[in-house]
Chains A and B, each alone.
Chain A
Amino acid sequence: MTSVSTRDLVSQPYKYGFVTDIETEKIAKGLSEDVVRLISSKKEEPQFLLDFRLRAYKHWLTLEEPDWAALGYSAIDYQDIIYYAAPRQQEKKASLDEVDPKLLETFDKLGIPLSEQKRLSNVAVDAVFDSVSIATTYREKLAEHGVIFCSISEAVKEYPELVERYIGTVVPSNDNYFAALNSAVFSDGSFVFIPKGVECPMELSTYFRINSGDTGQFERTLIVAEEGASVSYLEGCTAPMFDTNQLHAAVVELVALDDASIKYSTVQNWYAGDENGVGGIYNFVTKRGQCRGARSRISWTQVETGSAITWKYPSCVLQGADSVGEFYSVALTNNCQQADTGTKMIHLGARTRSTIVSKGISAGRSSNSYRGLVQIAPGAKGARNYSQCDSMLIGDEAAANTYPYIRSQQPQAAIEHEASTCRISEDQLFYLQSRGIGFEEAVSMMVSGFCRDVFNQLPMEFAAEADKLLALKLEGSVG
């Protein structure tokens, strides 16, 4: 990358901040049992799902919002949020050509072309706009392989028995405050089912777009890989710039049966608020994968660069013997952003293995915490974990914290933990500059060097994007 293109790149602070002017159907603000019933009836859901929602809602009412994270924000008024907003169009269209051109244009602008001619050749995309999925590409081609990839709303209608069998089995509706809220009001998200022995022939991807200013987004994603199946899935997220905060409380559940493998990557670039911390997304997400079968593998890779608040711990329950869990994370905070993120690796099965590589970068006045749990149950004989948590500080007003929790009830388990903190020094920058490398490029070179172990885990098409995204996010944060 030449210095010129870096400059061009960093000259646009947040290029996804536009709002699409489209007629939207919204329900009234506030949360009640009636609202839960209304969402369910709008989606014409079967009884089991309504019951699931109502149980979750009743449980949520008994819970208190958690306050243990190293995050500070003013209280969220749950009655001041709209729980369902959908662009006004009739049925979900059979053909993409019938989708409102404004929506197609929106995704075009986001770099996610959906129309037949322009779509990415090797990536199937589910596009979610506010509360609903508007299009899923390559459904038929995937169906030829027995792969189901559609919105969760469609899955509820077309494959209710699959949804009923798996939903809430990894993240129960009473799991935590935000998971219970999501279970009560979730509107859309993606559903992936890879049948026995099938290697999914293309990358799957969901692109989440929040458009409305007063709406919460509560998506729910469920991915099931049967025996010997494998899939790589990527989600991307953006939102317009508003001076108010929007709540995003998602739940993602992954199930891997014997010998199955799921790779789940996230590039999160929700609007982060301005440099004074006004506006931005509150991102409270519960992501968990269950390695239910022997020798199964679940790998989380996340690049978290957006949101005013990030509260997120993608986790693995390693139940099957010899199963493997991985967590690779880059979390970058700048200006007034706050992130409290990490993972949980729960070792239940024999010889289960987990790897955690976390890279936190804090710039501006931001605060960035890694919080992780490695738990080894008595039955997890021969379990092993390796954790590496590195922090990089840019400037002298940012904060980095590491909270590693280790609980082992298995004396033979091998647990390794390494942690480091570094600061980009004036001398390092001067060294690179004195070799003809411009200031911004020198910073982004050092940051991407710091993150390399994680970027190597991303699908190839997105690794370069992630690099650029970090350069963009750090604009003006040094010096």
Chain B
Amino acid sequence: MIRPDAELLLDINDLHASVEAQPILNGVNLQVRAGEIHAVMGRNGSGKSTLSKVLAGHPAYRVTGGSVRYRGSDLLELEPEERSRLGVFLGFQYPVEIPGVSNLEFLRVSSNARRQQQGLEELDTFDFDDHVRERLSVVQMDPAFLERSVNEGFSGGEKKRNEILQMALLNPVVSILDETDSGLDIDALRIVAGGVNQLATPENATLLITHYQRLLDEITPDYVHVMAAGRILRTGGRELALELEKTGYDWVDEEVASTGQGVA
């Protein structure tokens, strides 16, 4: 939903970042307002996953220039845990397994960290148990997964559902979903996308990082951005994704070549 007067949540200006001295982002500009759903598309290596990691504060990525403001304050100044507590959520492409740490306890600690920041009462074990069981329906998840270690032995689809469950519990302001569709069959994709749609409100915003158009059949974006060589090359509406689906990414390569922006 596009409302020009909606709050500017995320304001990315000329963002440059590198990993191990290799520049990956070369001047990203992006504004995200409340109520909007953005899709960032591009080939592997275009920098779209790096953008998500930088926004979440992964220590392996170094910001070399530009700025990111989140609701008016400097996002890049904050530790990853502070970003989460303030409402920035990253749904991982490959959620890691954490043996020995109970999924339920992890969800509770995480959720309480966010609640504390919001000035809400922290939930004890019993109240949280009720709360989480109610939220499971968002992604139709089996309660048995609460009793297991975080992501340990989960299938690809179960891991992604666990990500969206976390999103449902953390009630984020800006959600960045990095290739949430990858590795999902069509049923799992519908469930996960259904969860994202349920969680979208006029107050929050979603940034979908994806390679394929098929996720956008399930979640309708307000904006589609095409990334290449660490920059946003073109921005359009829903139809841009359909065009990409038809023509592939070859025209993107040509455009990058003609503007002298070699793919790193």
Contacts and interface: CB of A to CB of B under 8 A. Distances in A.
B110 A436 contact: yes
Contact of B84 (A426, A433, A448): A433
A433 B98 contact: no
Given A426-B59, A430-B59, A435 B84 contact: yes
Interface string A396-433: 00000000000000000000000000100111101111
B83 interface: yes
B55 to A, nearest CB: 10
Interface in B81-112: 81, 83-85, 90, 92, 95-96, 98-102, 106, 109-110, 112
Nearest to B117: A436
Contacts of B47: none
A427 B60 CA distance: 10
B116 interface: yes
A386 interface: no
A433 B101 contact: no
Contact of B114 (A436, A445, A451): A436
A438 to B, nearest CB: 5
Contacts of B57: 433-434
Identify whether the interface residues of A are mostly helix, strand, loop, or mixed.
helix
Contacts of A425: 96
B80 interface: yes
B63 to A, nearest CB: 16
Interface string B117-130: 10000100000000
Nearest to A435: B110
A449 B102 CA distance: 8
B114 A426 contact: no
Given A435-B170, A436-B110, A452 B100 contact: yes
A438 B78 CA distance: 12
A117 interface: no
A433 B80 contact: yes
B113 interface: yes
B113 A445 contact: no
Interface residues on B, range: 20 to 34
B182 to A, nearest CB: 17
B109 A445 contact: yes
Nearest to B94: A427
Contacts of A427: 96
B149 interface: yes
A32 interface: no
B56 interface: yes
A433 B106 CA distance: 11
Nearest to A431: B96
B52 to A, nearest CB: 10
Interface in A20-45: none
B59 A450 contact: no
A437 B102 contact: no
A86 B240 CA distance: 85
B81 A433 contact: yes
B85 A436 contact: yes
A405 B27 CA distance: 60
Contact of B113 (A3, A431, A450): A3
Contacts of A433: 57, 79-81, 84
A121 interface: no
Nearest to A449: B100
Interface string A438-460: 11010001101111100000000
A431 B152 CA distance: 14
A431 B99 contact: no
A436 B172 CA distance: 11
A445 B107 CA distance: 12
Interface string B43-62: 00000000000001111100
Interface residues of A, number: 25
Interface string B169-202: 0100000000000000000000000000000000
Nearest to B95: A431
Contacts of B112: 2
B164 to A, nearest CB: 13
A439 B58 CA distance: 13
B166 interface: yes
B116 A446 contact: no
B149 A430 contact: no
B121 to A, nearest CB: 13
Contacts of B166: 435
A2 B85 CA distance: 13
A450 B80 contact: no
Contacts of A450: 99-100
B149 A449 contact: yes
Among B56, B109, B117, the one with the most A-chain Cβ atoms within 10 Å of its Cβ is B109
Contact of B109 (A437, A451, A452): A437
A432 B110 CA distance: 8
Contact of B98 (A2, A426, A428): A428
Given A426-B59, A445-B106, A445-B109, A434 B99 contact: no
A431 B151 CA distance: 11
A448 B122 CA distance: 22
A434 B83 contact: yes
Among B57, B58, B101, the one with the most A-chain Cβ atoms within 10 Å of its Cβ is B101
A446 B100 contact: yes
Among A422, A431, A435, A445, the one with the most B-chain Cβ atoms within 10 Å of its Cβ is A435
Nearest to B110: A435
Contacts of B122: 2
Nearest to A429: B59
Given A439-B81, A445-B109, A432 B56 contact: no
B47 to A, nearest CB: 19
Interface of A: 2-3, 422, 425-428, 430-439, 441, 445-446, 448-452
10 contacts: A430-B56, A430-B59, A434-B56, A434-B84, A435-B106, A436-B81, A436-B110, A436-B117, A449-B100, A450-B99
Interface of B: 56-60, 79-81, 83-85, 90, 92, 95-96, 98-102, 106, 109-110, 112-114, 116-117, 122, 149, 166, 170
List of 10 A-B pairs having minimum Cβ-Cβ separation, nearest first: A449-B100, A436-B113, A435-B110, A449-B101, A436-B84, A433-B80, A436-B85, A433-B81, A450-B100, A431-B96
